[in-house]
Structure 1
Amino acid sequence: MNAISKQPEDEINEALAYHQGDVRATIAALLAEREFLLREIEYASLAMSYGFARGWKPGQQKFAR
């Protein structure tokens, strides 16, 4: 099964199974990954020219903490 055809319930079950059913560990890992991705977006926006993205810049309002 590829990532496109997965249902949200399947992904939730996989994440929980990876952490042996520990909900708090699963949430902590997801939050850590979210912070990493937010940093990556910030770095990409610094490196990306305004014309390259046709004026689009990532906004923190979409990724509110």
Structure 2
Amino acid sequence: MNAILKQPDDEIDEALAYHQGDVRATIAALLAEREFLLREIEYASLAMSYGFARGWTPGHNRNAR
């Protein structure tokens, strides 16, 4: 099934099952993945020009769109 069509509960259950139901391990893995993705966005923003992004810059604030 396409990940876009999955319900959030299904994805939560999958993440927990991957970590054998260990909630702390699941959260730790998600936080580590978040940090990795933030670094990747920072690296990409260094490589792209201001004009290419039309002034957009990555931010850590979720509400700043």
TM-score of the superposition, structure 2-length normalised?
0.89
User: Could you say what secondary structure the match of 1:62 adopts?
Assistant: coil
In the alignment, which residue of structure 2 is the partner of 1:40?
40
Task: Name the Cα RMSD after superposition.
Answer: 1.3
CA deviation profile, 1:14-35 (whole Å, cap 9, x unmatched): 0000001010110000000000
Offset of residue 60 of structure 1: 2.6
Give structure 2 stretches of 5+ with no counterpart: none
Unpaired runs of 5+ residues, structure 1, are none
Residue 51 of structure 1 corresponds to which residue in structure 2?
Answer: 51
Runs of 4 or more, structure 1, over 2 Å off, are 60-63
1:13-57 CA-partner distances (Å, limit 9, x unpaired): 000000010101100000000000010011111111001111111
Give secondary structure in 1 for the equivalent of 2:5: coil
Using the aligned pairs only, state the percent identity. 87
The count of residues paired between Structure 1 and Structure 2 equals: 63
